[in-house]
Amino acid sequence: MLTQATEPLSTFFEYITYEHMIDNVVLIVTGTLHERDVQELLEKCHPLGMFDSIASLAVAQNMRELYRLVLVDTPLAPYFSECITTEAYLEDVYRFCQKLGGATSEIMSDILVFEADRRAANITINSIGTELTRDDRKKLYSNFGLLYLPYGHEELAVCEDIDQVRGAMEKYPAYQSIFSWLSYGETQLLDKAFYEEEVKRLCLAFEQQFHYGVFFAYMRLREQEIRNLMWISECVAQNQKSRVQDSVVFIF
């Protein structure tokens, strides 16, 4: 599809692949630090995120070399400061979609804003109990989203437990429904709630016509199907079939 597409759709398709490129770069760099075989790591990479010089990532000895030898010639170069940040990528996609305008901008903004806010919540929850300072935590949040202004990120940055995260997010009507049926202190169902909300927004992309959001939504919904299958497989393998409903998200 990418080779058949013209601008700006081809750029839109490329943006979809950048997220997987970032994941692959992180996988290879981390695996190399842990002295894993490069071929083994390349087999685990996502096919949408492959690029020509990906194997050279294993040669770099530090972040400067990583950028100079490999990343500078890839589309990921703008997202590299002290390290590769998915937040920079999300902001870039958001700006690009805003420029496209029309239904694409409307649909994609809704999806990306939710993605940014979800990432902020997950970063906060995952950093509870670690040595990450409040300032460092705030630096990891994207510079857009419902929580960005005025005080959402400020409140999230000082949260010390999941109930405080809940309190910070419940103030926004869009996220009240997510937390309304969760009990206090629950984290696994929160993941499922976020996935369900994401699927709801992705499905809405198919309600409108003549926009690029359907391609993004299609990819993301396919990924959700894969997640569902993997979860069901794990439950069957562990003889915990009664727990399948804990994380399966129904689509359409």
Partner 1 sequence: MEVSDSGVESADEIVLDFLDSMDRYLVLVDGLSSILRQGWFDLASARHSMSSSRMSSALFDLKIHNASTTLQLQQADPGKMSPHFDLCKWVSSENLDKSSEDKKFKKNELLQQEDSLQSHHQEPKDNISEGNGSVANDNNQAQKERLKSLSMFGALVAPKLWSSQLSFEKALETLVEIANTRASLLQAYDQAQQNMKKTD
User: What are the beta bridge partners of residue 218?
Assistant: none
- Least distance in angstroms from the C-beta of 125 to partner 1: 7
Name the 3-class secondary structure at 80.
strand
Site for partner 1 in 5-24 (CB under 8 A): 23-24
- Least distance in angstroms from the C-beta of 208 to partner 1: 29
Binding segment for partner 1 (CB under 8 A), chosen from 32-40, 52-60, 68-76, 151-159, is 32-40
Q: Which two tokens stand for residue 88?
A: 């920079």
| One residue of 21, 27, 57, 165 binding partner 1 per CB under 8 A | 27
Q: Which two tokens stand for residue 149?
A: 């202004």
Q: Which two tokens stand for residue 218?
A: 């299609």
226 HSE (CA, 13 A, CB side): 6
Binding segment for partner 1 (CB under 8 A), chosen from 30-38, 168-176, 199-207, 212-220, is 30-38
> Under 8 Å CB-to-CB from 93, ≥6 apart: which residues?
15, 18, 108, 112
Site for partner 1 in 86-125 (CB under 8 A): 122-123, 125
Q: Is 41 in the site for partner 1 (CB under 8 A)?
A: yes
Nearer to partner 1, 107 or 162 (CB): 162
Q: Which two tokens stand for residue 80?
A: 């590299």
> Under 8 Å CB-to-CB from 145, ≥6 apart: which residues?
113, 114, 116, 117, 120, 152
Report in angstroms the alpha-carbon separations of 65 from 20, 42, 58, 74, 100.
21, 20, 11, 14, 35
Q: Is 52 in the site for partner 1 (CB under 8 A)?
A: no
Q: Site mask, partner 1, residues 124-163, x = CB under 8 A?
A: -xxxxxxxx-----------------------------x-
Rule CB under 8 A: which residues touch partner 1?
Answer: 23-24, 26-27, 30-31, 34-36, 40-41, 44, 46, 122-123, 125-132, 162, 187-188, 191, 227, 230-231, 234-235, 238, 240, 243, 246-247
